[in-house]
Structure 1
């Protein structure tokens, strides 16, 4: 009997809640198709007249968004992750999910107080000299309160909702259960790889709700911009941080969103300077450090005095390894230079496009894509990268781009949009070009060889230890004649059959020729039993030769191999 592990069984009560919400937003046929209609309350088991295709009409994106909002924290976060993957779900769903609203009301101060005291192991009055009971902001994951430490430092304290981690894990189990059912029972949806999306989401959200990870991200981010007076990162107070409580420096500043929406605030700051500093910082994060803020919406970026840009909320971060950064920089340069051949070659080198693809057709498709952005000047690098990962080009050639590539396109697009709203003359390409060229030149530097040797020193050392021994063993086996070579043939069965058939025909032809020659010689002897004056054996030889010859001709005609 197949017993499902306890931690992989969906919570039936929560599953029923999810199915009820799906039914309310007209996804009844999907429920029926995956065999879960009987899980609905009896009163909800109405007849689903429509088909799955009919339910996926023009309103499906909006209805899906409303489903996620009704289901709460985990599903809202799922929608936010999916909104970064237009390559999988399409532009329409991706854009709709960017509208997801987190309208969760704040929880009571007594819960906040109890949570902090439990996490920090001390009464709240011993940790803070004052603590505002009213939250500055609230969301489904947690809420933020302003407080003062005993030394007078103003801090923002982020407190996670109680039992959030348990709820998230419970919902992920149900998501995986539903994704596997859909993947098995609705074949046309297998292309979206829903189980894979759930796995990716699980990794993302478990990091995001771990405030200890967010604190480490913030400190690493601060190190990147150490000494850069144009960028500021809040201080993290480690002694007052746990996986459920985060205490950081309180920032007195103005949100970039407020500056964009309020002309009066815009006059107090220099939009051109803010746009340039924000974009430079992002390209530095991406191309130089490979560690970037993956949620740069205008509410997460503040502006301080003297147009200093300050980043907040480090729960969602992107990572790019050295090799991918160098490849990306080269791709940027090909895009900037409108080098279609170079773009295609680079996409092949990066493993994004297969060499077996119709490269001639792909060339014209990329030319059409690039022509949309080339007027007087190229300014929208992020949109080109994003469109490259979401356009019909990728669907046509069945290409799935790496998650980091698509996420990066979205992030750069958001940065460029903010830059253009702050400064109408903003040009992201001109900002990214020097950094991309610098990275490519670094790759060509002779010192890179020394870095490569240093980075792979232990591998070289292991190879040098193993190599003599392996060569010695191989030579000994050669001398003893004990080298075994295993060969595997593929698709040779048909060839083998044809060779057998041909050899049989040749053998038969030789037998017929021998019979004819032998019979001819016997016919000339006039000895033995005679029939009509001809030797009996000679006549028999000719008859057998004729029968075999006819059979051979029929065989050749049958297999069309004349």
Structure 2
């Protein structure tokens, strides 16, 4: 039974019908749930790359143009990556969506081909057939589910990693979004993540600049939460209550939820941030104000939500953020959230303050004392100073212009195994578990800002919403 908080008298619990046997109708668009079938499809990625590389090598030996051949191989690899991840949905597509946020870090020689393939994964996937949708609604809402709607559109408006969205009209006349989880998504998600973890090193080589292993680890950590839409409904209710009547943000209210179905208010005339990114590439000068304002709103939402809602929205990809006609930013998809009931940990603000003022002796001491240095390892003032230098540009000025070029430079330095000093320091450091999701979300948000090619008041957001910063600056 769904839990409701009682704040909205129009919100309805969904009684669960008895679980029915899972069946497939043979349609190729329906999610592939057999582990062997999914593994075989995922195995096509490295096998295809190896085969094409061999053919390409032969063409080069025969005198073919090296640059042209490499570009063709990259394009085919990108097309295959999208085709396989998008077709499988589940953990494969969720992983692809996480990678898409960081496409700005991919070097330019790869970017042209991977950018299109990865950004497609933000909102595109083959739809689930209507018969499968109806069976899932029968199981979750009961066989009389149609009585809850005045109208239900069988054609999905959006498809994502573990579910797709349908537009409908609720019994009280409200237009709603009905997210239905793919049958077999739970098994597929778990199977994909095991397989992808085994392929992590190969995929890292395929997409330079993408930090694959931490992304997979974080997705795996949150798997069970995201599979239960009742948890998502609880997160979204908490956000909606906290941001009710906010002048700059909109969180759609939850109408009802069940383990594999969630019904929320519909958003009219909403432009996804992914579309604003596309428009920015086509018309940089004409979209500058819109891109800066959008990036600023996204930054404010991520920085402020722990203090306002006690939660951090932890699925930062452009398809989950939309700009309404009145300029407000709407945020959807609350399956992955990090509980931060006391706001951001104050150590984050302290670390930034110490870095800004070059107080590295204190910074090193703070890292050692709070588990950021692996037990038995040591790091010096100079090592930390050199290690952090590539990442600290945004905190050196009041505003910062995030660009793909900057992201590529930072990612290149962070993954440069030839820099033995940096690699030595990196092997001495660890990110405490309680901070992993925070850094992934902020990194994803920065990645979107770079895709938007936007300038935002990064340090003002830090000062306004991250505790510890002002106190340590004052102490100096």
Partner of 1:210: 228
RMSD: 4.7
Give the secondary-structure state (helix, strand or coil) at the position aligned to 2:254. coil
Describe the SS at the equivalent of 2:118: coil
- For residues 36 and 298 of structure 2, the distance between their equivalents in structure 1, rounded to whole angstroms, comes to 47
Matches of 1:345 and 1:311 in 2, distance apart?
38
Q: Which residue of 2 aligns with 1:106?
A: 127
One of 78, 103, 106 as aligned partner of 2:95: 78
Q: Separation in 2 of the partners of 1:197 and 1:416?
A: 19
| 1:234 aligns with one of 249, 252, 272 | 252
Distance change in 2, residues 1:309/1:338 (3 Å): farther
Deviation readout 1:364-394 (Å, 9 max, x if unpaired): 514743685688756269989x869946576
Aligned match of 1:252: 268
Partner of 2:17: none
| Separation of aligned partners in 2, 1:302 and 1:75 | 24
Identify the residue that residue 240 of structure 2 maps to in structure 1. Answer: 222
Match of 1:144 in 2: 165
**Higher mean displacement: 152-161 or 65-74:** 65-74
Aligned to 2:258, the other structure's residue is in SS state coil
| Offset of residue 132 of structure 1 | 1.8
| Aligned match for 2:304, one of 284, 305, 318 | 284
Deviation digits for residues 284-311 of structure 1 (CA, Å, limit 9, x no counterpart): 1246656212233333222335422211
Give the alignment of 1:538-549 within 5 angstroms: none
TM-score by length of 1: 0.56
Partner of 1:472: none
- Are residues 127 and 175 of structure 1, via their aligned partners in 2, closer, same or farther at CA, if it must alter by over 3 Å? same
Q: CA, structure 1 residues 27+378, in 2 after alignment: closer, same or farther (shift >3 Å)? A: farther
The alignment covers a number of residue pairs equal to 385
Query: Which of structure 1's runs of 4+ aligned residues deviate more than 6 A?
Result: 57-62, 82-86, 90-95, 269-272, 380-384, 386-389
Q: Is the 8 A contact 1:76 1:100 kept in 2?
A: no
Query: Equivalents in 2 of 1:408, 1:389: separation in Å?
Result: 21
**2:153–2:166 Cα contact (<8 Å) kept:** yes
Q: CA deviation at 1:337?
A: 4.0
Distance 1:18 1:272 in 2: 38
Which residue of the other structure, out of 304, 318, 322, is the alignment partner of 1:302?
322
Q: 1:32-431, aligned counterparts within 5 Å?
A: 63=77, 66-67=80-81, 69-71=83-85, 72-73=88-89, 74-81=91-98, 99=118, 101-102=120-121, 103-172=124-193, 174=195, 178=198, 200-226=218-244, 228-238=246-256, 241-257=257-273, 258-259=275-276, 261=279, 275-286=295-306, 291-320=311-340, 322=342, 325-353=345-373, 356-366=377-387, 368-369=389-390, 379=400, 390=414, 395-397=423-425, 398=427, 399-402=429-432, 403-414=436-447, 416-417=449-450, 421=454, 424=455, 426-431=456-461
Verify the 8 A CA contact 1:109 1:134 in the aligned structure 2.
yes
Q: Distance in 2 between matches of 1:14 and 1:351?
A: 39
C-alpha contact (below 8 Å) 1:380/1:428 kept by paired residues? no
Cα deviation per residue 1:105-161 (whole Å; 9 max; x = unaligned)? 212223322321331013343111111222212235222111111111110111122
Is residue 319–residue 404 contact of structure 1 (8 Å, CA) maintained in 2? no
Contact 1:131/1:147 (8 A) holds in 2: yes
Q: Secondary structure at the match of 2:137?
A: helix
After superposition, the Cα gap between the structure-2 partners of 1:17 and 1:166, relative to the gap in structure 1 and judged at 3 Å, is same
* CA deviation string 1:511-560 (max 9, x = no partner): xxxxxxxxxxxxxxxxxxxxxxxxxxxxxxxxxxxxxxxxxxxxxxxxxx
Displacement of 1:359: 0.8
The 3-state SS of whatever aligns with 1:158 is strand
Richer in helix (by share): 1
For residues 311 and 409 of structure 1, the distance between their equivalents in structure 2, rounded to whole angstroms, comes to: 16
CA displacement at 1:235 relative to structure 2: 0.8
Q: In the aligned structure 1, how far is the partner of 2:172 from the partner of 2:186? A: 33
Distance 2:366 2:79 in 1: 37
Is the CA contact 1:333–1:433 (under 8 Å) kept in the aligned structure 2? no
Q: Aligned to 1:432, what secondary structure does the other structure show?
A: helix
**How much does 1:338 deviate?**
4.9
Q: CA distance change for structure 1 residues 211 and 357 in 2, over 3 Å: closer, same or farther?
A: same
Q: Which has the higher contact order (CA 8 A, sep 6+)?
A: 2
Q: Distance in 2 between matches of 1:367 and 1:179?
A: 29
1:417, 1:151 → 2: CA distance?
42
| Paired residues of 2:237 and 2:254 also in contact (CA < 8 A) | yes
In structure 2, stretches of 5+ residues that fail to align are 1-33, 54-69, 203-210
In 2: Cα distance, 1:381 partner to 1:333 partner: 21
Q: Which residue of 2 aligns with 1:432?
A: 462
Whether the 8 Å CA contact 2:99–2:118 is kept in 1: the answer is no
CA contact (8 A) 1:388 1:394 kept: no
Aligned residue in 2 for 1:24 = 48
